[in-house]
Amino acid sequence: MKAIKLILPVLPLALAACSDAQVTTKPPPSPNNPGYTFTFCANEGDQCAFDGSREVAFGIVGADGKMTELSTVANFTGGTPCTIDAFGNNPAPGLPKQCYIRIKLK
């Protein structure tokens, strides 16, 4: 019987403790769309409040403002709860998540 070697990709994951005070005023561009980035809005379970329609990421966004494989994005108007139910899935099971609003860089 021949052994099968299974190679799985390793995803880099650097998690750091966050607080509401750690909001970047001019974050770097998002890889999904240069000229845009994601900025902190709320911790999981809190309300992500904003006016108008916004693209909101839920999960884990890197310290550099870039999306990770452990996040999902949806459009909302007038704010949203930062919850699994609001986004319809759990992109990072067992990990604390946050909501981030996509903003245009100036």
**Domain boundaries along the sequence of the chain:** 36-104
Q: Say what the pTM is.
A: 0.65
Q: What is the number of residues in the chain?
A: 106
Residues 15-22 have a mean pLDDT of: 36
Q: In sequence order, which residues have a C-beta less than 8 Å from that of residue 70 and are 6 or more positions away? A: 13, 59, 60, 91, 92, 95
Q: How far apart are CA 1 and CA 58, in angstroms?
A: 46
pLDDT of residue 105: 82
Q: How far apart are CA 30 and CA 46, in angstroms?
A: 24
- Residue 37 C-alpha from the chain's centroid: 10
- pLDDT over 90 at 34, yes or no: no
The pLDDT tens digits for 48-106 are 999 999 999 999 877 776 777 888 889 999 999 999 999 999 999 999 999 999 888 87
